[in-house]
């Protein structure tokens, strides 16, 4: 027995020596590579937000050279249509029959997104000033995002079919819901002709491309290819969003050149950020707790939390640019929601709340 113990201990000692050598080698490799890998990984992970901020700064600073480009209406709306098509094409709606059979969760998510958020923002938007206030109102009226709500819902253990259904309902009705809230809360700041044009354009360049994308998915090979190529299509769609950010920044820069007395203060920016964060976080957890109180299962609670509180960047951008409102609030909301909801998703996944 002693000989077996001694043999076993020698084997363990040898393995620990080999393991320590392997560990030291891998550790040295990790240490030598950390300075070269970390910047690349950081860029790959945050390229969209970095590009978004850079293009906003460039468009604002060099507005005059790009004025002609920003005034081309067909170019702007072509970018919007193509982006909405690319966002909607990879979306799989196979699980939606379950959500349609029990529509309480999707209807709640839609109500939080299109009714509760605009109501919460209404008395607060004026605190951000005359320049950023209308942009906050447009942000609140914008429908739920087409991608990140479903992705984060799935990651956190939620029912992504509910998130997709909320996306469909909010985006399909945005052509009349958004103008309603914008007119109700801004009133005399927009002309009736602009409002009618916004309704028409939202339907033609947002709702129609989404419907066409789903018609194309009816073809089996097309649906299979779009699902497989989802990362590529998502990147192309993000490029379209960045193009709209740049055009919107150019229009902002041109307006500020003509109205030098309406510069945005740091105070207004901080108030705007506080309003957007507080509204987003409030609606997120209110969605989860409300669905929990009425007895819906945890996966549906998570789905309502994410989809009911998120806003899509593309539609908000195109509407703000079309009406001549500031795009900073919608860009700020989108950026903050990605950061905040990534933290929430980790918490929901790990702690099983």
Please determine, for residue 193, whether its predicted confidence score (pLDDT) is greater than 60.
yes
Q: pLDDT higher for 304 or 259?
A: 304
CATH topology of domain 62-351: Na+/H+ antiporter like fold (1.20.1530)
Q: Which of 162, 166, 185 is nearest to 174 (CA)?
A: 166
Residues 6+ apart with CB under 8 A from 176: 199
Separation between Cα atoms, residue 113 and residue 140, nearest integer Å: 8
pLDDT band at 188; cut points 50, 70, 90: low
Burial of 341 (0-12, 13-18, 19+ CB in 10 A): buried
Q: Which of 201, 236, 187 is nearest to 89 (CA)?
A: 236
Which of 81-95, 132-146, 283-297 has the least mean pLDDT? 81-95
Please determine, for residue 51, whether its predicted confidence score (pLDDT) is greater than 70.
yes
* 209-219 pLDDT, tens digit each: 888 988 898 88
Q: Considering the chain, what percentage of its residues have pLDDT values greater than 90?
A: 26
Arithmetic mean of pLDDT, 26-45: 48
Which of 7-11, 271-275, 327-331 has the least mean pLDDT? 7-11
Arithmetic mean of pLDDT, 180-196: 75
C-alpha radius of gyration, the chain, whole number? 24
- Cβ proximity of 121 and 140 under 8 Å: yes
Arithmetic mean of pLDDT, 9-27: 42
pLDDT of residue 298: 93
pLDDT of residue 97: 59
Please determine, for residue 309, whether its predicted confidence score (pLDDT) is greater than 60.
yes
DSSP 91: -
pLDDT band at 101; cut points 50, 70, 90: low
Inter-axis angle of helices 328-351 and 266-293, to 10 degrees?
40
Q: Where are the alpha helices (DSSP H) in the chain?
A: 2-61, 67-70, 73-88, 96-101, 104-111, 117-121, 129-141, 148-155, 160-172, 174-186, 192-202, 208-216, 220-228, 230-258, 266-293, 298-309, 313-323, 328-351
pLDDT band at 140; cut points 50, 70, 90: very high
From the CB of residue 171, how many other CB atoms can be counted at a distance below 10 Å? 24
Arithmetic mean of pLDDT, 73-98: 78
Arithmetic mean of pLDDT, 215-229: 88
DSSP 146: S
Per domain, the residue ranges of the chain are 1-49, 62-351
Please determine, for residue 25, whether its predicted confidence score (pLDDT) is greater than 50.
no
Burial of 39 (0-12, 13-18, 19+ CB in 10 A): exposed
Arithmetic mean of pLDDT, 247-272: 78
| Distances, alpha carbon 5 to alpha carbons 13, 14, 16, 18, 19, in Å | 12, 14, 16, 20, 21
The three-class DSSP label of residue 264 is coil
Mean predicted lDDT score pLDDT of the chain: 80
Which of 159-173, 180-194, 266-280 has the least mean pLDDT? 180-194
pTM flag (> 0.85): no
Separation between Cα atoms, residue 41 and residue 201, nearest integer Å: 39
pLDDT of residue 190: 66
Structure-token pair, residue 162: 């509910």
pLDDT band at 259; cut points 50, 70, 90: low
Separation between Cα atoms, residue 242 and residue 246, nearest integer Å: 6
From the CB of residue 256, how many other CB atoms can be counted at a distance below 10 Å? 17
């Amino acid at each position: 027995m002693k000989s077996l113990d001694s043999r076993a201990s020698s084997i363990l000692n040898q393995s620990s020596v080999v393991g320590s050598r392997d560990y030291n080698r891998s550790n040295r490799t990790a240490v030598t590579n950390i300075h070269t890998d970390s910047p690349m990984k950081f860029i790959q992970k945050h390229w969209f937000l970095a590009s978004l901020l850079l293009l906003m700064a460039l468009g604002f600073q060099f507005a005059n050279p790009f004025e002609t480009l920003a005034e081309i209406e067909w170019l702007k709306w072509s970018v919007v249509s193509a982006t909405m098509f690319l966002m909607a094409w990879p979306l799989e709606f196979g699980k939606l029959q379950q959500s349609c059979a029990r529509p309480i969760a999707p209807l709640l998510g839609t109500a939080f997104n299109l009714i509760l958020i605009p109501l919460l923002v209404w008395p607060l938007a004026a605190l951000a000033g005359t320049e950023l206030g209308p942009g906050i109102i447009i942000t609140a009226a914008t429908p739920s995002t087409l991608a990140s709500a479903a992705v984060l819902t799935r990651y956190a253990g939620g029912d992504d079919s509910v998130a997709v259904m909320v996306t469909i309902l909010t985006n399909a009705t945005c052509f009349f819901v958004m103008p309603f809230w914008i007119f109700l809360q801004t009133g005399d700041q927009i002309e009736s002709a602009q409002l009618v044009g916004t309704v028409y354009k939202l339907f033609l360049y947002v709702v129609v491309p989404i419907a066409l994308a789903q018609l194309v998915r009816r073809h089996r090979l097309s649906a299979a290819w779009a699902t497989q190529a989802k990362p590529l299509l998502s990147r192309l769609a993000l490029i379209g969003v960045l193009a709209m950010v740049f055009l919107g920044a150019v229009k902002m820069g041109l307006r500020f050149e003509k109205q030098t007395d309406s510069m945005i203060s740091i105070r207004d920016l901080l108030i705007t950020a506080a309003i957007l964060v507080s509204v987003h976080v409030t609606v997120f957890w209110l969605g989860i707790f409300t669905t929990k109180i009425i007895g819906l299962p945890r996966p549906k609670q998570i789905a309502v939390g994410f989809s009911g509180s998120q806003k899509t960047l593309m539609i908000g951008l195109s509407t703000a640019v079309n009406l001549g409102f500031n795009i900073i609030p919608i860009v700020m909301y989108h950026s903050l929601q990605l950061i905040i909801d990534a933290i929430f998703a980790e918490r929901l996944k790990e702690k099983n709340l």
